[in-house]
Amino acid sequence: MIKTAVFPVAGLGSRFLPATKAIPKEMLVVVDKPLIQYAVEEAKAAGIEKFIFITSQGKEAIEDHFDSHSGLESILQARGKTDDLTKIRSIRIPEGQALFIRQHEPLGLGHAVWCARHYIQEDAFALLLADDLIQATTPCLKQMVQAYSEEDGNMAAVIDVPKNEVNRYGVLNILTQFGLKVCAKAVVEKPDAATAPSSTAIIGRYILRTSIFEPLGFKKQGAGGEIQLTDGLQTMLGANVPLTGFRFNGDRYDCGTKVGWLQANLALAAADPELRPYLESVMTTLKVPLAG
C-alpha cells in the first residue's frame, strides 16, 4: 500500500532564468495549472495520503499554492463565481497531510530523497519529479501502484529515448522483460552514447523501498559530483533488491526544458475541447499544422 509521496522541489530551475529568479520552476504554468499541481493530482489519483515536499529557500509559493486563501475565497463566493471557488478549494492538501522539509544544500536527487528518511513509516513510498508531466488516461503513478508487488523491489517508470540523449538519464542494463515490466541487472547514470547499456531510460516516477535510505546515507558523490539516486538503486541491486522498469501508457513531457514545456502546453491545450478551436486558429495563423 503506497500512501506517501515525496516531491523534490528544491532545484534552482536555471534553464528558465530569468523567470525562475523569483518563481519556483515547479510553479511554471502549463495551460492553467503549475507543474507541481499536476504531480500532486497524479499522486492523489494513485491513493496517496501523505505529501512530503523537499524544498529550499525561495520555494514558499509552493506551500502557499496548496494552502487555503480565505480572502480570495470570500471574494469569489460574494461574486457568485462558484466554478472558480471549487477549483481553488480542490487544490488544498488537507491539514496534517503535507510536510515541507528544507534541503539546505543542492547535493543532488539522492540527497533530496534521503532528507525524507525520518518521515516515512511504510515499507515503500512514491517519488514524483514535477518536471516530468505525463499525459495519460490512467495517471502514470496509479498504473505503477496497480502493477507493483514486493517482488518488484524498486520500480521506476521508463521510456525509450534516442541514443544521443541517453547521457541525460539513468539508463537500464536489461536482464529480462515481461509485459510492461523490465527487470534490470544494472543502472548507469548519464552514460555516454557509445557505452550506454540500452536506450531504456528512467524518468521521474518511482516506487522505492525505504531501505534506499541506507545507501543514500553514505552520501557518495556520483555523476556531476552529486549524490545520485541511481547509485543507491545500483547498490541495492548488488544486495539482491530488484530494480523494475515500468513501461507506462501515456506521453511524457520534460518540462525541465523549454522545448518540453512548450510541447506540454500545446499537447494539453489540444486535448482541451474548449481550447482546441482557439489553438487551431493560432496555429493556422502561424502556418503550423496541428496534428490529431
Predicted local distance difference test score (pLDDT) of residue 73:
87
Question: What average pLDDT does the segment 148-171 reach?
Answer: 94
- Ranking 76-80, 162-166, 183-187, 196-200 by mean pLDDT, the lowest is 76-80
Query: Residue-wise over 53-77: b if at least 16 C-beta within 10 A, else e?
Result: bbbbeebeebeebbeeeeeeeeebe
DSSP string, the chain: ---EEEEE-----GGGTTGGGTS-GGG-EETTEEHHHHHHHHHHHTT--EEEEEE-TT-HHHHHHTS--HHHHHHHHHTT-HHHHHHHHHHPPPTTSEEEEE--S---HHHHHHTTGGG--SSEEEEE-TTEEEE-SS-HHHHHHHH--GGG-EEEEEEE--GGGGGGSEEEEEEEEETTEEEEEEEEES--TTT-S-SEEEEEEEEEEGGGHHHHTT----GGGS--HHHHHHHHHHTT--EEEE--SSEEEETTSHHHHHHHHHHHHHT-TTTHHHHHHHHHHTT-----
pLDDT of residue 203: 96
For residue 28, pLDDT over 70 is answered with: yes
Q: What is the mean pLDDT of residues 204-210?
A: 97
The answer, yes or no, to whether residue 141 has pLDDT greater than 80, is yes
Is a pLDDT exceeding 70 seen at residue 290?
no
Q: Where are the domains of the chain?
A: 4-256, 257-292
Note the pLDDT of residue 219: 84
Could you tell me which CATH number the domain at 4-256 has?
Answer: 3.90.550.10
- pLDDT value for 54: 96
For strands 181-189 and 243-246, give the pairing: antiparallel
Q: Is 90 left (phi over 0), alpha (psi -120 to 50) or beta?
A: alpha
pLDDT digits (tens, 9 = 90+) for 92-120: 898 889 999 999 988 899 999 999 999 99
What is the average pLDDT across 170-179? 93
Confidence of residue 282 (pLDDT cuts 50, 70, 90): confident
- Nine-digit cell string for 147: 502493477
* pLDDT of residue 292 exceeding 60: no
Question: Which band of pLDDT confidence, cut at 50, 70 and 90, is reported for residue 40?
Answer: very high
Give the tens place of pLDDT for each residue, 182-203: 999 999 999 999 999 999 999 9
Q: Which of 7-16, 65-74, 238-247 has the highest mean pLDDT?
A: 238-247
**Residue 146: pLDDT band by 50, 70, 90 thresholds?**
very high
